[in-house]
C-alpha cells in the first residue's frame, strides 16, 4: 500500500504577481501550501497605494474580503442589479463577494495603503486552491479584447470609432493609479437586514472576552446573511501577550485558514496517530491551514497576536480540549480515570485545574 502524500502545513508568505504605480496583488500558491488544493481554498492580498484602483473584475471563487488596514471604497455589482452597490470600507470590515460577481476597489486615503485580504472557496474554480480573476478591461488581459469589433459594436450599439474610444483608452491592467481629482461614486448609507454588505469585526462586541486572555468575534450569516449562500464562516481573534488559545478542533469537518494580522507567537498542530505535524514561530503576514479534525493550539509572544480566519462552513463548531468547557472536563470522573489509567487522587487534581478559564488562558506567573 502506497504511503499517503505528505501534507505541507508550514505557514507561507504570498508571492507578488502584480506590481504597478497603483499597488500590488499577492497570492498564496497551492504549490507552496498543498492544503489549499486539498481544502479547495484560495488566498490572496491586495495592497492599493493612494489613488490606486483595482479595475472591475469577477472571480471563479466566492470570497470573504477582510480589510487589514487603511480605508477606501468598494463597488459590487450583484446579480440582476441594474446598478452597483458602493460602500465605504475601513480596517476591520468584512465583505462577502460571491463568485462571478463584478467588484472593484479604490484607495481614497492619502495617509495609508488600503490592504485587503481575500480568503475563499475554490471548489468551483478552474484551478482548485487558487483564484482565477477575470478582468473586464485592461491593456493585456481584459476579457472584452477577445471579441471581434463586430460583436462588440453590436452588443453596445456603438460604431467602430465610438467603440475604439471606449475600449482603447485604458492601457493599464489589473491595478492602475488614477489622477488626483478623478470623480468616483459616493458610497451609500449603511443598509440593513439582508442588504448588509459590510460588517466591522473591530467594532463588534466580542462573542468571547477573557481578561488577560483574548477576545474573538465570530462572523456568521447572522451578521452577513450572504455567508450562508457562500458556505463560509470567519472569525477575528486577538490574544494578549503570552496568553494561550486552548487546544481544540473543528467538530464539523471544516478546514480553518488563518492569516496572522499582527504580533507573533507559536502554533502547534497535531494530526492522525498523535503526530505533531506543525510547530512554527508565527509572524504577521503568514498564512497557514489546519486540516479537518486536527487539534491546534497557539501561544502569543510578547506583543500578543491577532489573526483572521475563514472556516469552510457558515456556522462553525469548535470543540475545546482544555479549560472549564473542555472535553476532558466533560468526561465523568470514572471514565477519565479509566481512560488515563490514573487513581482518584490524580483525577481530582486534574479536575481542580482550569476551573474558571475557557478558550483563552492568561499567562502564568512564570511568563
Q: Beta partners for 149?
A: none
pLDDT tens digits, residue range 253-293? 678 899 999 999 999 999 988 999 999 999 999 999 998 89
pLDDT tens digits, residue range 159-189? 999 999 998 888 888 999 999 999 999 998 7
Above 80 in pLDDT, residue 155?
yes
pLDDT tier, 34 (very low <50, low <70, confident <90, very high otherwise): confident
Torsion of CA 127, 131, 137, 139, to 10 degrees: -80
Percent of the chain with pLDDT over 70: 94
- Average pLDDT of 210-235? 89
Q: Check residue 64 and give its pLDDT.
A: 95
- Average pLDDT of 58-87? 91
DSSP 205: P
The secondary element (H helix, E strand) that includes residue 203 is none
pLDDT tens digits, residue range 89-141? 999 999 999 999 999 999 999 999 999 999 999 999 999 999 999 999 977 77
Query: DSSP string spanning 148-179?
Result: -HHHHHHHHT--HHHHHHHHSS----SEEEPP
Helix axes 333-340, 344-351, angle to 10 degrees: 110
pLDDT tier, 366 (very low <50, low <70, confident <90, very high otherwise): low
Q: Check residue 193 and give its pLDDT.
A: 45
Above 80 in pLDDT, residue 12?
yes
What counts of helices (H) and strands (E) characterise the chain? 7, 23
Mean per-residue pLDDT over the chain, rounded: 90
Contact 274, 251 (CB under 8 A): no
pLDDT tier, 314 (very low <50, low <70, confident <90, very high otherwise): confident
Q: Beta partners for 278?
A: 269
Closest CA to 289 of 44, 15, 9, 6: 9
Q: Check residue 333 and give its pLDDT.
A: 92
- Average pLDDT of 40-51? 97
Q: Check residue 313 and give its pLDDT.
A: 79
C-alpha cell at position 242? 503570552
**Cβ-based neighbour number of residue 170 at 10 Å:** 14
- Average pLDDT of 313-332? 86
Q: Check residue 199 and give its pLDDT.
A: 92
**Cβ-based neighbour number of residue 296 at 10 Å:** 23
Q: Check residue 364 and give its pLDDT.
A: 79
- Average pLDDT of 359-363? 91
Above 80 in pLDDT, residue 83?
no
Amino acid at each position: 500500500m502506497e504511503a499517503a502524500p505528505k501534507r505541507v502545513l508550514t505557514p507561507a508568505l504570498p508571492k507578488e504577481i502584480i506590481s504597478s504605480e497603483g499597488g500590488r496583488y499577492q497570492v498564496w500558491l497551492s504549490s507552496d501550501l498543498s492544503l489549499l488544493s486539498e481544502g479547495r481554498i484560495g488566498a490572496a492580498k491586495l495592497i492599493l497605494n493612494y489613488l490606486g484602483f483595482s479595475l472591475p473584475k469577477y472571480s471563479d471563487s466566492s470570497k470573504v474580503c477582510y480589510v487589514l488596514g487603511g480605508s477606501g471604497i468598494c463597488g459590487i455589482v450583484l446579480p440582476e442589479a441594474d446598478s452597483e452597490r458602493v460602500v465605504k470600507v475601513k480596517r476591520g470590515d468584512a465583505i462577502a463577494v460571491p463568485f462571478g460577481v463584478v467588484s472593484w476597489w479604490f484607495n481614497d486615503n492619502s495617509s495609508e495603503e488600503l490592504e485587503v485580504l481575500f480568503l475563499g472557496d475554490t471548489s468551483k474554480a478552474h484551478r482548485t486552491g487558487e483564484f482565477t480573476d477575470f478582468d473586464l478591461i485592461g491593456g493585456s488581459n481584459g476579457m472584452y479584447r477577445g471579441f471581434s469589433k463586430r460583436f462588440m459594436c453590436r452588443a453596445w450599439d456603438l460604431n467602430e470609432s465610438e467603440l475604439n474610444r471606449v475600449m482603447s483608452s485604458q492601457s493599464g491592467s489589473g491595478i492602475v493609479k488614477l489622477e488626483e481629482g478623478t470623480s468616483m461614486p459616493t458610497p451609500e448609507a449603511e443598509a440593513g437586514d439582508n442588504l448588509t454588505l459590510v460588517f466591522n469585526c473591530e467594532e463588534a462586541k466580542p462573542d468571547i472576552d477573557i481578561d488577560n486572555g483574548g477576545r474573538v468575534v465570530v462572523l456568521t450569516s447572522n451578521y452577513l446573511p450572504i455567508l450562508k449562500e457562500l458556505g463560509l464562516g470567519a472569525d477575528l481573534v486577538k490574544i494578549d501577550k503570552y496568553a494561550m488559545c486552548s487546544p481544540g478542533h473543528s467538530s464539523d469537518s471544516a478546514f480553518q485558514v488563518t492569516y496572522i494580522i499582527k504580533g507573533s507567537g507559536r502554533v502547534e498542530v497535531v494530526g492522525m496517530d498523535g503526530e505533531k505535524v506543525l510547530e512554527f514561530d508565527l509572524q504577521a503576514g503568514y498564512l497557514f491551514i489546519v486540516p479537518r479534525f486536527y487539534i491546534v493550539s497557539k501561544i502569543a509572544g510578547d506583543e500578543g497576536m491577532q489573526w483572521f480566519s475563514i472556516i469552510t462552513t457558515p456556522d462553525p463548531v469548535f470543540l475545546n480540549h482544555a479549560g472549564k468547557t473542555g472535553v476532558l472536563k466533560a468526561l465523568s470522573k470514572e471514565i477519565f480515570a479509566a481512560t488515563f489509567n490514573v487513581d482518584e487522587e490524580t483525577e481530582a487534581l486534574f479536575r481542580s485545574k482550569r476551573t474558571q478559564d475557557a478558550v483563552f488562558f492568561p499567562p502564568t506567573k512564570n511568563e
